[in-house]
Structure 1
Amino acid sequence: MNKFKLVNNDESKIVTNNFKLVDEKQPRLFKDIFPYSEIPKVVFGGQQIPMSIPDDIWITDTTFRDGQQSMDTYTEKQIVKIFDYLHKLDNNSGIIRQTEFFLYTEKDRNAVKKCLARGYEFPEVTSWIRANKEDFKLVKDMGLKETGMLMSCSDYHIFKKLNKTRQEAMDLYVSLVEEALENGIVPRCHLEDITRADFFGFVIPLVQRLMELSKESGIKIKIRACDTLGLGLPYSGTELPRSVPQIINGLIKYGGVPSEYLEWHGHNDFYNVVPNATTAWLHGCSAINTSLFGIGERTGNCPLEAMIIEYGQIRGNVKNMNLKLISEIGQYFEGEFKYSIPPRTPYVGSEFNVTRAGIHADGILKDEEIYNIFDTEKILGRPIVVAVNEHSGHAGIAAWVNTYYRLKDSDKIDKKDERINTIKDWVDKQYETGRSTVMKSEELELIARKIIPQLSTKKHNTEEF
């Protein structure tokens, strides 16, 4: 079923081959994989691609571009505020290396000017434009050093959206890159819909030409592989066009793209946005494009905070990033934009480290490491929380007291303490009279301080659940 067999099967010669554009007269839509009237197919049988993690990996941001398309338009003040947050979160670690902006309105351009005036090294300010020379003039006028350029690469887009042939599309893209090079601007080529594209018939010939231009000019030409509909697959042994390992490996091996020129941009339509991004890192892609909280088109982009944690797991640390700011940024979005972060969203949702299960609460009483993913208080500024309901029992109530008031070591109150039994009797009566909702902290605080007066001198965790 593999429709991507090369004419020349001598693997030793493939790397040096120049792949010629296959200028199909009719669009190649891979209907056996994407029937549209059915769920897309996963096709196995592809080669096993070995992992090859680049020496340097990093994150880029599209909160002001793809993210803003899915929100009410940001004001200049809001854009600068978020930009400041990104800089403080990165904390000069260079992990959040770039962020991209629209340039189409006066407001956008003014916001970019204000962000540039901050003088931050990280994240670097870049832009995004469509594949036309009118848009490119905006980049030149702003004096930016790099811009993303939309380069649709599947026949769905080339034939159906652009109404062009493959050759016409390639000529347009190359001409725009040449103009960027003439002006000393780094072009970042966004290969839109790469997971439905003819990889060897269009993508690789285009990329090889771009790499030739890069060598001739001495200017870096970046390649962003865009999984526009989230169709990419992280699994080893899957076939093109959906295989993330094969796409990344192919761009490097056949396209001649150095890892540091390569970036992955994914969407979450099939719940694979984080696995796909991590897979891209593991197979040779240096940069992963993200947005804060995954805000983006349809099901969203890859969450920036998720890839920070992925980076930490792969590298063993996150350098000197200030991860406690993640919660603050989340609170800003919820307050400023009335944006609702789902409560169970990892790392940032209001309930991501809240436990309600009695048996879990009993474990937390013994040692919070048993049921907490890591020291969320130290790393994210988010202490573990135990919620109280009719099923909590003595262990749950004791765990709530200890976590809410941050009691440590000898200050901890045991579940067998008679005062815990008194609080439990009070909680039981609430549910016996028809209550069905989780107890609020303020309610429990009133009764806990009455039963255990010394708690009034203790600092408490103000997280709500």
Structure 2
Amino acid sequence: MEWKAVCPYNPKLKLEDIYIYDTTLRDGEQTPGVCFTKEQKLEIARKLDELGIKQIEAGFPVVSKKEAECVKAIANEGLDAEILALSRVLKEDIDRALDCDVDGIITFIATSPLHLKYKLKKSLEEVEEMGMRAIEYAKDHGLFVAFSAEDATRTPIEDLIRIHKNAEEHGADRVHIADTTGCATPQSMEFICSELKKNLKKAHIGVHCHNDFGFAVINSIYGLIGGAKAVSTTVNGIGERAGNASLEELIMALITLYDVKLDLNLEVLTELSKMVEEYSGIKLPKNKPIVGEMVFYHESGIHVDAVIENPLTYEPFLPEVIGQKRKIVLGKHSGCRAIAYKLKEMGIEVSREELCEIVKRVKETREKGIFIDDEVFKKIVEEVIRK
């Protein structure tokens, strides 16, 4: 059986050499209240590497001595992924990153009129000069350099193009469009990336999207459509305010819906999600797309009948592909097929009359507010058979 069933009207995107740089350990950890231990950071990094993520943003070394130790430990773990560190456009930040043995840095400074006036209190020219000096210094020390224009989606397009062309000329390997407050739309993200791509010769474009309006994943995809090659994600979409683009949602949308080829070990996706859920302390909704506990649960009789014949009738892809599990749940909407399926799982044989009675009692029990777990179901079956 094919593992996915795709809508025939979905476009097959010709997106080549796309890669993900995950920032769970940096921007994800900036979720208020989240603080990973060194061992937790190492475990998450190892699992991201096992998944096949190409770049891991391990942290912000200048934040603290402990943070620098964590970044250095990840950089020396021998992972296949390149390890990046965040730095401001300051020599001391870059030196601290160099001390951590990272492969590269993401250096950032705000460029929007709002940030320039109220946060930095500097002119765009001053900010641009600081950014270019930082890029040159980092490149002179052999680092991969991504230059991120913070609040890029609220920066005039002519300024963005000029600054990023300048960043490329100073040696930046990648330039980032940071949707810092999640206020971009898919159309604006595609436009910004396409205009930037027309003006760059070799630097990759990366998109870093926040989820304030629930657009982080679709904005990331439209950034790719516009010409970006790199996408920033976090596991479970954690991050400041409403979070970042969800790693698992982005991956499965690209592969399943857009038929994009990503060389990833998908079977570890759910395990990675549960690990970050545990270590971050941020409980996932049970219906969280892709990795939620209940997204492959079925109760409705009509659905269950079809799923037993072919799961893709009511699942966009098979759960085992990402390490998830399917479950038939018994309740108010259950029919004979679902009950028979559960009885077969438990090795219990009943007559047709008994089956109908069990279905009736399951519905009545659930409508009384009692959840039908295995113990409750066994009790119902025993009572019907005994009667």
Q: TM-score range by the shorter chain?
A: 0.7 to 0.9
2:217 aligned counterpart, secondary structure: helix
Check conservation: 1:249, 1:283, Cα contact below 8 A: yes
**Match for 2:51 among 68, 89, 94?**
89
Distance 1:120 1:451, change over 3 A: farther
Letter in 1 for 2:130: L
1:420 maps onto 2:347 in alignment: no
State the match for 1:326 in structure 2: 269
Closer/same/farther in 2, CA of residues 159 and 270 from structure 1, 3 Å limit: same
Offset, 1:400: 4.7
Shift of 1:317: 4.7
Question: Which residue is equivalent to 2:167?
Answer: 210
Relative distance call for 1:393 and 1:311 in structure 2 (3 A) is: closer
1:223 corresponds, among 168, 172, 175, to 175
Partner of residue 332, structure 2 = 390
Amino acid at match of 2:76: A
- Matched to 2:371, the amino acid is V
User: In structure 2, what is the Cα distance between the partners aligned to 1:301 and 1:233?
Assistant: 15
- Give the match for residue 444 of structure 1: 377
One-letter code of the match for 1:421? C
Look up the match of 1:309: 252
| Residues 208 and 232, structure 2, Cα contact 8 Å, conserved in 1 | yes
Structure whose alpha-carbon radius of gyration is higher: 1
CA distance in 1, matches of 2:76, 2:378: 47
Report the CA distance shift for 1:441/1:107 in structure 2 as closer, same or farther (over 3 A).
farther
Distance change (3 Å), C-alpha of 1:54 and 1:324: closer
Deviation for aligned residue 1:420: 3.0
- Post-superposition Cα deviations, 1:67-112, rounded to whole Å, max 9, x if no partner, equal 001042111011011111111222xxxx543334221222222222
2:127 is aligned with what amino acid? A
More helix per residue: 1 or 2?
A: 2
* Superposition TM-score, scaled by structure 1 size: 0.73
Cα distance between partner residues in 2 of 1:309 and 1:148: 26
User: Is the CA contact 2:332–2:364 (under 8 Å) kept in the aligned structure 1?
Assistant: no
For residues 381 and 190 of structure 2, the distance between their equivalents in structure 1, rounded to whole angstroms, comes to 55
CA contact (8 A) 2:46 2:79 kept: no
Aligned to 2:80: 121
After superposition, the Cα gap between the structure-2 partners of 1:211 and 1:365, relative to the gap in structure 1 and judged at 3 Å, is closer
Match of 1:64 among 12, 25, 32: 25
The 5 A counterparts of 1:245-264 are 245-254=190-199, 256-258=200-202, 261-264=204-207
Q: Which amino acid aligns with 2:231?
A: I
Equivalent residue number for residue 107 of structure 1 = 66
Determine the C-alpha separation between the residues in 1 that align with 2:336 and 2:96. 65
Using the alignment, how far apart are the partners of 1:333 and 1:52 within structure 2?
30
Flag the 1:231–1:428 CA change in 2: closer, same or farther, 3 A: closer
- What's 1:272 paired with? 215
SS of corresponding position for 1:69: coil
Q: SS of 2:145's equivalent? A: strand
1:14 corresponds in structure 2 to: none
Counterpart residue number, 2:103: 145
Give the equivalent residue in structure 2 for 1:288: 231
Gaps of 5+ in 2: 1-11
* Separation in structure 2 between the aligned mates of residue 227 and residue 277 of structure 1, nearest angstrom: 10
Residue type at the aligned position of 2:138:
A
What residue identity is the alignment partner of 1:297?
E
Paired residues for 1:349-364 under 5 Å: 349-364=292-307
SS in 2 for 1:439: coil
Distance in 1 between residues matched to 2:255 and 2:118, nearest whole Å: 42
Residue pairs, 1:359-374, within 5 angstroms: 359-374=302-317
How far off is 1:128 after superposition? 0.2
CA change 1:172–1:337 in 2 (3 A) is closer
Pair 1:130-2:88 in alignment: yes
RMSD of the alignment, in Å?
A: 2.8
User: What's the CA shift for 1:150?
Assistant: 1.4
When normalised by structure 2's length, the TM-score is 0.87
Q: Take 1:376 and 1:149, find their aligned partners in 2: how far apart are those partners?
A: 38
> Which 5+ residue runs of structure 1 have no aligned equivalent?
1-50, 215-219, 236-242, 453-465
1:318 Cα deviation from its structure 2 partner: 4.0
Distance 1:183 1:366 in 2: 60
2-side partners of 1:152 and 1:272: how far apart? 21
| Distance change (3 Å), C-alpha of 1:337 and 1:140 | closer
Instruction: Name the % identity.
Output: 26
